[in-house]
Structure 1
């Protein structure tokens, strides 16, 4: 039923609000219903009144929970708290101070019982409130645990229970908060629905990996010339061409890091504008040489043409399996293709049908046969040809992926 909500101004109002909160909690209303919305609003009003008028002295989270249990009408039992803490046994452990509250429990107690964050996390309540919009349910926790990214956790269940703490341990408070605004200045190329939270986690991992390799020299945008692009492509003729290209770009203040993608991100790479210079992050998800060179040059084109000419774009994520009509994507595609496949090389292989023809033309123009084979497969829309030349399985073996 609809009820008129009002600001709590007196102890009488406060007691009535507590009673009504207890009644609603016993009914377990579904979210986004009239009763569910009323419960959330009441929790906010009660918290505001308590913060402004009640001096609880030194705050203790367990005592704050017990106080709320006593205030409720009827008083809450351990079984009632299980909905917020996990089980009756876990409730007993918390109330007897045998285990600490996890951030997951803290959020549930705050939302469900209206206990202020300042009572549950007295040392830093603001940080918890600021992280509230982050959807922790979308974090790829199993993938992260399997990749040993959550090293402080002994089991998958432990990682799930203390996920928020684990992310703070992994990335730091500041970076985790910054990521909530990252998509305000990003461009995403994808034809499929992405898990945005997984993408944010991947981005944080890329930044973390880049911190391990400070820029060798200051980045100078003016040095991103056609000659440099061609020199990068020429590294493809060497067996360790990918690592040589990365070393070359490092001399120009551009760091390239390898970070494996998460499921439902469909990611090949990204160009990131960072305070200490640009970063190219690659996933290697297709593990083919032709794909590696195209993605690398594509992201390098973004750094040249887009990251430093448009203040509104600081991150460009790319799923290059998808064709795009976005102007910055088509421009980056064109630059990558023209760099890897100069016009003279395109003419020489236009009618090529054998591996020998491809290898000879590639050698003449200082390009890897994988690049030429990949170009022809796409040009002819036939991905069954030249399989032996595209360098399948020859990328990931050259790097350690985070």
Structure 2
């Protein structure tokens, strides 16, 4: 049977302590007297009392005769002491190994971030186990290999963005870890059209939006996570397949309704257009400016679902140049949040200098 930590004392107790206690209790015999009775030098007995020498079988028999404590008791005491010493040594060796492992982990994992998020405790062994679960690895070597082999495919890079690999992989791994823990409804690709309509209604109202979006996504079988970003992780959204469901993770780094709505629709575009045929793909979206054909398709999907082609044609034909009054009129006519209209126009027509009072805050 494997010993537990509760079986291991902080410090092993040598049987010499019992000799010391007996001498203090008995007034009729001194340490020098006992040494003479045992036939050993006082210095030899003193080393036993201080735990520097073991009690042998021969000495145990002599102690039985002089102190009237059974020899087998002394031998069991000595044996337990040696066992405890061995267990303490093993415990310390294991503790050293854990410290060494943790020092390696700190090179590849933003430990303070995970502590802040409540994933780590004060117990080193539990923390190492937790990191293995979050990063979906069996050994620390696997963690090291992630940084040598893991490639973030299908995400939009920009030379202007400063990306911290440690933080990005941490955010990415945490999103996948949390997604595994979600149990939601069955997903059906045929329901995506209705899902986007329901989401647009939520975006238009922009009231308790994050909770409502999560509820409707879960209802339609899409896992949803809002994971706090780290430094130098300029990520908006992440779409991937988790167990039997698609999943969307966001950072809310801008906390704007137009950015949030576009990110959600963009990731649903990946689900509808790309994950349907290849569930092994993963789309980590950093910026909407530099794109490949996957991102172009997801962008177009998001644009058309948020603002229909007919609505957009109406805006271009009848409402340019724009002002707040016209934006609100379009919003009420098509049930589209004003900030989403403004965001699209700014992006498409470089209207960023437009003086506006439109509230863009995600609520």
**Under TM normalisation by the shorter chain, which class is it?**
0.5 to 0.7
Give 1:317 deviation, angstroms. 0.4
| 1:323-342 equivalence runs, <5 A | 323-342=289-308
* 1:360 equivalent in alignment to 2:355: no
The structure 1 residue matched to 2:315, chosen from 349, 357, 380, is: 349
Does 2:87 align with 1:141?
A: no
Q: 1:185-224 maps to which residues of 2 (within 5 A)?
A: 186-191=153-158, 192=161, 194-215=163-184, 217-224=185-192
Query: Is the 1:171–1:208 contact (alpha carbons within 8 Å) kept by the matching residues of 2?
Result: no
Change beyond 3 A, Cα 1:101–1:299? same
Any idea what the Cα deviations from partners look like across 1:239-291, whole Å, max 9, x if unmatched? 23443233222121101110011112211110011112111001000111100
C-alpha contact 2:180 2:243 (8 A) present in aligned 1: no
Contact 1:259 1:282 in 2 (8 A): yes
Moved more, 333-342 or 304-313: 304-313
1:151 aligns with 2:103: no
1:101 aligned residue: 96
- SS for the counterpart of 1:325 is coil
1:298/1:335 contact within 8 Å kept: yes
| SS, match of residue 154 in structure 2 | strand
Instruction: Show the counterpart of 2:137.
Output: 176
SS at match of 1:244: helix
Counterpart-to-counterpart distance in 1, 2:102 and 2:285: 34
Gaps in structure 2 of 5+ consecutive residues:
1-87
Question: Post-superposition shift, 1:304?
Answer: 0.7
Whole-Å Cα distance in 2 between the matches of residues 386 and 231 of structure 1? Answer: 31
**Structure 1 counterpart of 2:69:** none
- 2:198 aligned residue: 231
Match of 2:231 among 257, 263, 285: 263
Whether contact under 8 Å (1:235, 1:242) holds in the other structure is no
**Secondary structure at the counterpart of residue 250 of structure 1:** helix
1:33-87 deviation per Cα after TM superposition (whole angstroms, max 9, x unaligned): xxxxxxxxxxxxxxxxxxxxxxxxxxxxxxxxxxxxxxxxxxxxxxxxxxxxxxx
1:97 deviates by 3.8
1:285-336 deviation digits (Å, cap 9, x = unpaired): 01111000000000011011111213551x210012x412311000000110
Answer yes or no: is 1:166 the counterpart of 2:161. Answer: no
Pairs aligned (count): 264
**Inter-partner Cα distance in structure 1 for 2:171 and 2:259:** 20
Residues 171 and 98 of structure 1: CA distance in aligned 2, closer, same or farther (over 3 Å): closer
Output the CA distance in 2 between the equivalents of 1:170 and 1:96. 22
| Residue aligning to 2:71 | none
Match of 2:267 among 259, 284, 299: 299
Q: Tell me, what secondary structure is at the counterpart of 1:256?
A: strand
* SS of structure 1 residue aligned to 2:155: strand
Match of 2:220 among 252, 255, 276: 252
Alignment TM-score, normalising by the size of structure 2? 0.63
Question: Shift in Å at residue 385 of structure 1?
Answer: 2.9
Cα distance between partner residues in 2 of 1:242 and 1:174: 26
Moved over 6 A (4+): 93-96
